Amino acid sequence: MTGQGLVGKIGSVTMRVRGGVLCGEVRVVVGGLPHYYIAFSPEPIPIGSRVLVINSRGARQIDVEPWVEPGPGAEQEFSPKGAM
């Protein structure tokens, strides 16, 4: 998968991302196949956490941030003021 095609994908941490310059490993399923990437994040992220790919560094290296699924009614929280 090309680098920019990864941005916006959701993955799961398979080897703890230690934060800062210390990497971990993330599994991202693309086209039904699992791909593994070296992952970096400013903050530590534990194994099993879901993450969002925010940047591709190339050479199978990505930047990620923790991802939490939006809950019911999330659309209402982000609607413009005055919208019904």
pLDDT at residue 37 above 80? yes
Q: Is residue 84 part of a domain?
A: no
Domain membership of residue 8 (yes or no) is yes
Domain residue limits at 49: 3-77
Would you say residue 72 lies in a domain? yes
Q: How confident is the model at residue 53 (pLDDT cuts 50, 70, 90)?
A: very high
Measured CA angle at 38 (ends 8, 66), to 5 deg: 45
User: For residues 84 and 67, what is the distance between their CA atoms, to the nearest angstrom?
Assistant: 27
* Residue 40 belongs to some domain of the structure: yes
Residue 62 pLDDT level (bands cut at 50, 70, 90): very high
The pTM of the whole model exceeds 0.85: no
| Half-sphere exposure (Cβ direction) of 79: Cα atoms closer than 13 Å | 7
- CATH number at 58 reads 2.40.50.140
Of residues 6 and 71, more confidently modeled? 6
Domain count, the chain: 1
Close Cβ partners of 20 (under 8 Å, ≥ 6 residues apart) = 42
